[in-house]
Amino acid sequence: KAGVTQTPRYLIKTRGQQVTLSCSPISGHRSVSWYQQTPGQGLQFLFEYFSETQRNKGNFPGRFSGRQFSNSRSEMNVSTLELGDSALYLCASSSVFDGYTFGSGTRLTVV
């Protein structure tokens, strides 16, 4: 069974730009969650999608948004990038039976 695939693995953007990250969950998993990991704050929950609906949202500004498609693939978007948005962005897909599986993440650097 293929794992969770995140693309791209690495990204360098300039302040003020926007970025879109992609996550393909494990086949059959309908829930996709996104997390931001930084050395100072650790792993923080961004949002979770289930069957194309946002089911929960963390405490991040509105510049962070996401969506989920009918095939369960998810994207997250960050607009007007700031230096502090530099982080490892992780997505996890889950099911009641399999628990959580994380992807390898997208390393975003904002310069």
Binding site for another protein (CB under 8 A): 4, 31-33, 35, 42-45, 48, 50, 55-56, 58, 90, 92, 94, 96, 99-105, 107
Beta bridge partner(s), residue 75: 22, 67
Closer residue to another protein in complex, CB, 15/33:
33
Q: Which two tokens stand for residue 79?
A: 């607009």
CB 105 within 8 A of CB 5: no
Closer residue to another protein in complex, CB, 20/58:
58
The least CB distance from residue 111 to another protein, in Å, is: 19
Closer residue to another protein in complex, CB, 13/58:
58
Residues 6+ apart with CB under 8 A from 37: 43, 44, 87, 88, 89, 90, 105
